């Protein structure tokens, strides 16, 4: 298959050469805003929403990117187009858009004049990100609460999708130490409220209502918004933002997590105790089924097919998981 | 002059090619431990202490680097040696050592097997980092307290010298908005205690005693330790770690910041009010003079010489400064 | 023009003699409850609401004022009446009502028996308070977030309109240091939520809805209540109390502040970044226009007329601004 | 006896006319720095230390008083001199020095040009302040912990002796509700550490050591410093700043409070439980005796004499007490 | 009258022998989940709701009780039946259900094999719990805010009805020190919001709406739920969960507390200040009257009858009151 | 062997009958103060210190026990004497002293007049408490940081050795979920500092100094005091109280925990990472050896002998461990 190419400030370079200078602010400060999207049947999903969130972050961080949102949309399409040969027919696209501030001022001497921000667009098969996840649609995952707390927005705003997130990794390290299978980290904020996973948003279902933490100490996920603003209304489900504590999760009927690559995964346990009857619940199933129908892809089945095909590659149980070696 | 080369996992590559894959954990999470050292007359200063701090960070973050500390020392020397031709006779070396966890598991497919952590060693002229700082030894800097608070160690430990530091940049953005010259950010922690600058440690002098915040919500700088453990005892100065509030700084006799590239800079104002008489104080001057004597380099003079030579390049007023365009 | 007179415990004294004993609890503890109202075409606006808030504060602080709310209403009218000659025809009234606990017990010997609380009612031209503000209705103000945080209600309740507010002044001092024009302080509370200005309430407009912080760590302004409870319903605008973070303000379509003297001023920037397109927005304009219509006064025009007439007096850019000399 | 006169910006006015304009920033914001001293045998005690603390506050609050510290010392002496006839032979002087920022900018029109800060110096008999306290040297006081917490320095710095202290009054209101006699408020800070009384500093004695809370969330009293830096060393007593919790006070051998008017009062109970054996302890007595000897005045006896003479005036049990009517 | 018997793990034992081993985890850690119900005319009220709350606590605390909820219901009925002879005709039943984890592992040697959790069901006359409360329906109680704060749910979840509640007792101790009658503790949480009493939930009535703190840092009382979910809708009263501060209570029209034994008691004062006109308000009275009607018992009258009959026994003014001896 | 008997308010009852009424305040609120001591060669160790701590708790909780400390000492000795026949020759005594407030007032009717507090003294073989611990002196334990935080002293003072400690149990539940062996919970306080285990105190050794958290948010253990005040001075080791963070523990040379039954156990890991070289360190060994010598008992060997003899009973790996069934 053809080698993939990555958009780097207007040029398409081989993926293995897509790299960021060691003097870039992104590597110095975690100073990068990014987005990661996916396709369904090759169609980008909510690309505009992703890009608007990206531009909000760029403004607040004062990254002076001159590319407009429409130009960037064009660049995404161009990149995907350029990689057509590098994808299998049943692949979906996972597009990663990174914007860095560029070289720190003190290193401008390294390359001459200040080259300004970097815009990087990569496109690779979604199947990698969801390795081993197929079965999780049936077993569900166990949410494990690490000692690490979410950094609250008053100190570092998670609503800006940035790369300064070492605390996510600490949470994953801590959770890797738990007995049992399929443990994913669920962070509490310093007030003891459920915040988010390390790359996913959390929901419960209680007495028929779909509830998720308010958009404060969390990334406001595009999938999260899709559930709240489109899927639940479509299905006539009541849904709301609500402060959630572990007590609420223990007493919930169902729970699930949302994330771009896998869309929606059942959470069937909290700290090893079953939620509800310990199996994916009916509301969770309805939401996933409706999502699949809306996008014309059987989401779990597609992932299971890839998993079966890639079984020899081993699992990557959470998209951001830390794995002990 | 010859092009500089950078050590990348055992190979020396041209500096302009020294880059980190866009799929590296360092770019995904700010997941990198690093050190930056300097030389005096070409001799590395406190290299061992820097490396020991680096290895403490690697252990706590569970980055499974297999290189030993002695091997790394060798690699540093080898890198400097390889760049000898690329430095002017009066240059000093600024060595940057980065260790990243490597490619995230979900991208291992990109390059085949998991290549493991990356060790990067770069060596470039110190003069870049201290551009425009020569005069600050006389004028001093004004410490400006931004609205942004230091992230406390209970949420993300700054004692691990990591790259997940977007909040430093937010502090610099906020301070760039102040009237007057030579404003450097001085962060308070959430308890209202002085923490640190965005890349430097803070000291006051009061009634002859040298005081600095305890090593909790700060990076424990190597220069900070040199002042506390070597310079002050050598000069018979009392010194101690102490909680400091803005009130203490307003009432101080002198203040200064320490950082590897410039060693020690006077702080002559806080929020625009002069500290003491608003000029570099006698204890500050003695410390800097003794440091210069100990290392055989007139520290401010050397920087001033470089600044004069590079005057056409413009300033980079703080090593980590945000600059409005 | 006639000299103004001030109501002091039942007597009308010349304004230049209206003063509070140096032994009064108000000067010892900031122990005073007060209100400041304004008129439109000489008619008091929301006087009853102001007085009810005053009496709530008196009760909670256990200030044993014996004057009833109706008697106080009468005293206000009497004071205004007595000053009729001292106002220009186009003036509006700014009435200040102060109640202090009176002399501290330890000073009762100074004047004999305990004279009890003081009731002071002053009436002066509103035009002073709004000097230089006329143009702000077009340019808008830039909200600047100081390092100083709002004191939360659990420590000192801002809903009691008291005079123990040195922290407002600290916020104004800090903001006086910002580059650019028309910076007004916007305080965050310790949780990082937007609280209020130093004498005004803050609103944003997002997707057509008018939002303002809940009435917890803020003074619950009478103008704020007028927007929430009367103007928005009158215009069919959705409005609500909501926790707001800087992120929400950066992403808002419009923003404004309310305060008794100026009613409603556009906020067109936050920390120097434009909000929306950086100009007063349509909802802001509609609210101000409706308010003007309701009270029969073109609010911005009236202020502009005064400003033009008083141009030689210089500006007082915020009603409570700190000005560097 | 002659009427007392008060120094007001260079003029001496009758005490009954010593008042602050209702438009002064002091009355608007609690924006005043002040000191209150006392004499022993007519000699000012620690006047220089009081004035230095005053000037620190003025600087930090940016109150642009032009009077120098030496000029102010002269003004104090002049004021006391002018009141000589108004004091009984056995009276001591209580001097109050107030500095206000002056009229708010928006009221400058009231009196013409900006008159700048106000300096007020009053001198009155100390006996008023210590009414009814004579017996407390034998019975001791009961420290009562109110629900109100000290405002921590990160929000409003108590080390600046300012007048924005309504929370002190709330504490006194709360404590006035307790059963039993001689209840004085003892505030905890939000971390649960003992801070201070509402106008006095707190100490315990444990195993022979004299301990007091560190100078953070407290006014750093001049009497406090006298105990720490002079009396304890003179008596060979170990003394230190230490975080103190209620537990430490319950387990203490002795406790006392210090304040300028009464110097040092035993605290014999906490929340109604006796401390030690419930009587003034030997270290407390030694400190008070030594203090009396150092200043040539039997401190408790002098107060008791005044109390006996003024018995018909009733008590003012704490210098800052709230009294229910 | 016959002696009462208590259900202990399937056996009925005389009440005087109903005791828990000194080695039980309940005595070691406060490790017990419990419920206390009451009857109306001998009919259990909301027994199912109580038991469901009990089982939620058992799950979260991982107490491996094997008894099902239906079996437990049977045991309750059996216990009540067994005690029929021990109750007067006009008595109501107060049933207490305790579940302990059982002997700590280290004491298993004491009694042989691990006997597992203990289930204890006691039934005693409700009249004991409400001694002296009859008059409170007319006078109301005064809510007194102690210095002790509620332990927030992030540290110890009060929604699990457990016995680890020494802080309730500390609150009661503190409040026992207040002047006046009928003081009941009302705890604030660390954020300064009203939480709950030490065994009861708190409500205010404001502008016709019934408001109570959200179910976070409080026990979610069954009586509380009855008011929110049944009584208010039945009476057409608006009701909601809302953050309440002391300010809101001071400004409320009415207030009341709910608790299982007394159902609903008026709160007519806060910290000694009257709420509303200081008498039980009309909404409070309507709620209590409707409750009485719904259950077929005149709730206050029944208690008053018992109180009159038991007048010689003295009062127990709060069900959980601390009484100074 | 003879059955053990327990002292209950002056009577000696069979251990199987030693129980607390279900209506006791201890079971209602966790309202009990207690101590647990041990002997060496049958001699009580630090009995006086334990009892003094007990009496401090009784005072603060206002439990009106009339027994004096000397009478209680006598009762302890009497109880041990009475059980002589029930102990094996090589047994040591574990004495548990419980004081409860007694029946709640509302249950006084149950048994007639108020019987007042209960004093319970039990004596049982220490070997039960240390089952399976013998090998830990060689392997060390792994300190695991749970999500549960220590309740800080400002909310519930752990220095009062009380039974309201459900949060200890939650910590143990959370830690029971970790992979690997010998995990003991180590709680952080809400500031992120190391507090204590769930029944033991924590120490590190760094550069030869022995360091332990200050006595604030911890029980101030008698064994802890023995190490600080006696063993370290005896061995010439520097020791101090110090705020410790996980970072400090990761960088420590050695670590250990102290507790009455086992005295001192090595901690060889934190969160699965080895501390030092992952084996008990030399300072730890010296302390334990000296302790053994001082008390005339080889502490680890004695425990190992018991463990070997009781091997068939299974382990109780931590004295307060939660064990999943």
* pLDDT value for B325: 35
Is the pLDDT at A112 greater than 50? The verdict is yes
At A259, give phi and psi (nearest 5°). -165, 150
What is the least distance, in Å, from the CA of D109 to any CA of chain C? 7
User: What pLDDT digit, counting tens, does each position of A116-157 carry?
Assistant: 899 999 999 999 889 889 999 999 999 999 999 999 999 999
A235, two tokens: 């299905």
Residue C105: band (very low, low, confident or very high) from pLDDT cuts 50, 70, 90: confident
CA distances F278 to B62, F176, F252, F256, F271, Å, are 16, 21, 11, 12, 12
Q: Report how many helices (DSSP H) and strands (DSSP E) chain E contains, helices first.
A: 11, 16
Orientation angle between helical segments C299-309 and C282-295, nearest 10 degrees: 80
Residue bearing the bigger pLDDT, E186 or B128: E186
Residue D291: band (very low, low, confident or very high) from pLDDT cuts 50, 70, 90: very high
- Say whether pTM exceeds 0.80: yes
Is the pLDDT at D314 greater than 90? The verdict is no
Q: How far apart are CA A192 and CA A206, in angstroms?
A: 20
Residue D318: band (very low, low, confident or very high) from pLDDT cuts 50, 70, 90: very low
* pLDDT value for D266: 98
Of B145, B179, B188, the CB nearest to C178: B179
Name the pairing type of β-strands B43-44 and B93-100.
unpaired
Q: How far apart are CA B82 and CA B4, in angstroms?
A: 8
Residue B109: band (very low, low, confident or very high) from pLDDT cuts 50, 70, 90: low
**Contacts D145 to E, Cβ<8 Å:** 147
Query: Cβ C157–E245 below 8 Å, yes or no?
Result: yes
Which stretch of A229-238, D74-83, D315-324, F180-189 has the lowest confidence by average pLDDT?
D315-324
Length of chain A: 325
- Alpha helix stretches (DSSP H) within chain D: 25-29, 47-60, 69-82, 108-111, 136-139, 166-175, 222-226, 232-235, 246-250, 282-295, 299-309
ipTM for this prediction: 0.93
Q: Percentage of chain D surpassing pLDDT 90? A: 85
What is the least distance, in Å, from the CA of E191 to any CA of chain C? 7
Residue D311: band (very low, low, confident or very high) from pLDDT cuts 50, 70, 90: confident
What rounded mean pLDDT belongs to chain E?
92
Is the pLDDT at C248 greater than 70? The verdict is yes
The answer to whether A and E touch (≥3 CB pairs < 8 Å) is yes
Residue A325 near chain C (CB below 8 Å): no
Q: Percentage of chain F surpassing pLDDT 70? A: 94
Strands (E), E234-308: 239-241, 254-259, 263-270, 273-274
* pLDDT value for F322: 52
D287, two tokens: 């400190």
- Pick from F62, F105, F168 the residue to mutate for testing the E interface (most E CBs within 10 Å): F105
Of B60, B62, B154, the CB nearest to F192: B154
- Pick from A145, A147, A193, A245 the residue to mutate for testing the E interface (most E CBs within 10 Å): A245
What is the least distance, in Å, from the CA of A57 to any CA of chain C? 9
User: What pLDDT digit, counting tens, does each position of C8-36 carry?
Assistant: 999 999 998 999 999 999 998 889 999 99
Of A191, A247, A273, the CB nearest to E159: A247
**Contacts A188 to E, Cβ<8 Å:** 154
Secondary structure (3-state) at E142: strand
Nearest partner of D269 among D207, D179, D189, judged by Cα: D179
User: What pLDDT digit, counting tens, does each position of B150-191 carry?
Assistant: 999 999 999 999 989 999 999 999 999 999 989 999 999 999
Query: Cβ A178–F174 below 8 Å, yes or no?
Result: no
Query: Cβ E56–A191 below 8 Å, yes or no?
Result: no
Q: How far apart are CA F241 and CA F227, in angstroms?
A: 12
Residue E269 near chain D (CB below 8 Å): no
Is the pLDDT at A315 greater than 70? The verdict is no
Which stretch of C106-110, C119-123, D199-203 has the lowest confidence by average pLDDT?
C106-110
Residue E109: band (very low, low, confident or very high) from pLDDT cuts 50, 70, 90: low
Residue D29: band (very low, low, confident or very high) from pLDDT cuts 50, 70, 90: confident
User: What pLDDT digit, counting tens, does each position of D223-240 carry?
Assistant: 999 999 999 999 999 999
Query: Cβ B245–D60 below 8 Å, yes or no?
Result: no
Helix (H) or strand (E) holding E250, with range, is helix E246-250
Residue E150 CB-half CA count within 13 A = 28
Query: Cβ A272–F177 below 8 Å, yes or no?
Result: yes
Q: Which residue in chain C has the smallest CA separation from A155? A: C192
What rounded mean pLDDT belongs to chain D?
92
* pLDDT value for F113: 60
* pLDDT value for C113: 60
Query: Cβ C250–A60 below 8 Å, yes or no?
Result: yes
User: Once rounded to an integer, what is the mean pLDDT over residues F247-255?
Assistant: 98
Residue B131 near chain A (CB below 8 Å): yes
Which of residues 3 through 62 in chain A touch C, CB cutoff 8 A?
Answer: 56, 59-60, 62
* pLDDT value for F112: 57
**Contacts C179 to B, Cβ<8 Å:** 177-179
Is the pLDDT at E325 greater than 50? The verdict is no
User: What pLDDT digit, counting tens, does each position of E12-50 carry?
Assistant: 999 989 999 999 999 988 899 999 999 999 999 999 999
Residue F69 CB-half CA count within 13 A = 13
* pLDDT value for B107: 73
User: Once rounded to an integer, what is the mean pLDDT over residues B25-44?
Assistant: 94
Residue C325 near chain B (CB below 8 Å): no
User: What pLDDT digit, counting tens, does each position of E110-166 carry?
Assistant: 555 667 899 999 999 999 889 889 999 999 999 999 999 999 999 999 999 998 999
What rounded mean pLDDT belongs to chain C?
92
What is the least distance, in Å, from the CA of B179 to any CA of chain C? 5
* pLDDT value for C81: 95
User: What pLDDT digit, counting tens, does each position of B134-146 carry?
Assistant: 999 999 999 999 9
User: What pLDDT digit, counting tens, does each position of F98-124 carry?
Assistant: 999 998 877 766 555 667 899 999 999
* pLDDT value for B253: 98
What is the least distance, in Å, from the CA of F148 to any CA of chain B? 14
Within 8 A by CB and 6+ apart from C112, the residues are none
Which of residues 277 through 316 in chain A touch B, CB cutoff 8 A?
Answer: 313, 316
User: What pLDDT digit, counting tens, does each position of C61-87 carry?
Assistant: 999 999 999 999 999 999 999 999 999
Is the pLDDT at C325 greater than 50? The verdict is no
Query: Cβ A160–C250 below 8 Å, yes or no?
Result: no
Residue F156 near chain E (CB below 8 Å): yes
Name the pairing type of β-strands E209-212 and E239-241.
parallel
Residue A178 near chain F (CB below 8 Å): yes
Is the pLDDT at C112 greater than 70? The verdict is no
Residue bearing the bigger pLDDT, D249 or C163: D249
C56, two tokens: 């709530």
Within 8 A by CB and 6+ apart from B209, the residues are B237, B238, B239, B240
User: What pLDDT digit, counting tens, does each position of D122-144 carry?
Assistant: 999 999 889 889 999 999 999 99
User: What pLDDT digit, counting tens, does each position of E302-321 carry?
Assistant: 999 999 998 876 655 444 44
User: Once rounded to an integer, what is the mean pLDDT over residues D76-100?
Assistant: 95
Q: How far apart are CA C35 and CA C262, in angstroms?
A: 15
What is the least distance, in Å, from the CA of D167 to any CA of chain E? 14
Is the pLDDT at F198 greater than 90? The verdict is yes
Is the pLDDT at C37 greater than 90? The verdict is yes
User: Once rounded to an integer, what is the mean pLDDT over residues C246-272?
Assistant: 98
User: Once rounded to an integer, what is the mean pLDDT over residues B79-95?
Assistant: 95
Residue bearing the bigger pLDDT, B13 or E108: B13
What rounded mean pLDDT belongs to chain A?
92
C225, two tokens: 């209540």
Q: Percentage of chain E surpassing pLDDT 90? A: 85
Query: Cβ C245–A157 below 8 Å, yes or no?
Result: yes
At E87, give phi and psi (nearest 5°). -115, 145
User: Once rounded to an integer, what is the mean pLDDT over residues D260-284?
Assistant: 97
Cα dihedral across residues F246, F248, F254, F258: positive or negative: negative
């Amino acid at each position: 298959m053809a080698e993939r190419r990555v958009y780097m400030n207007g040029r398409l370079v081989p993926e293995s050469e897509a790299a960021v200078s060691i003097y870039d602010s992104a590597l110095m400060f975690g100073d990068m805003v990014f987005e990661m999207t996916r396709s369904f049947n090759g169609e980008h999903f909510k690309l505009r929403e992703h890009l608007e969130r990206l531009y909000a972050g760029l403004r607040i961080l004062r990254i002076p990117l001159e590319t407009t949102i429409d130009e960037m949309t064009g660049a995404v399409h161009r990149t995907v187009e350029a990689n057509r040969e590098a994808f299998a027919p049943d692949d979906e696209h996972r597009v990663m858009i990174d914007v860095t501030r560029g070289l720190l001022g003190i290193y401008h001497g390294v390359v001459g004049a200040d080259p300004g921000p970097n815009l990087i667009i990569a496109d690779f098969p979604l199947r990698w990100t969801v390795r081993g996840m197929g079965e999780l649609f049936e077993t569900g995952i166990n949410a494990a609460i690490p000692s690490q707390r979410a950094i609250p927005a008053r100190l570092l705003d998670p609503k800006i999708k940035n790369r300064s997130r070492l605390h996510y990794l600490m949470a994953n390290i801590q959770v890797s130490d738990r007995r049992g299978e399929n443990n994913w980290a669920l962070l509490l904020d310093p007030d003891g409220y459920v915040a988010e996973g390390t790359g996913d948003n959390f929901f419960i279902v209680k007495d028929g209502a779909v509830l998720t933490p308010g958009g404060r100490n969390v990334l406001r996920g595009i999938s999260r918004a899709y559930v709240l603003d489109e899927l639940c209304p479509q299905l006539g489900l009541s849904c709301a933002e609500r402060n959630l504590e572990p007590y609420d999760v223990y007493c919930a009927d169902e729970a699930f997590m949302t994330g771009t690559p896998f869309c929606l995964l059942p959470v069937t346990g909290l700290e090893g105790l079953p939620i509800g009857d310990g199996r994916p619940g009916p509301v969770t199933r309805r939401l996933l089924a409706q999502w699949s129908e809306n996008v014309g892809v059987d989401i779990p089945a597609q992932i299971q097919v890839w998993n079966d095909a890639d079984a020899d590659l081993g699992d990557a149980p959470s998209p951001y998981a830390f794995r002990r070696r």
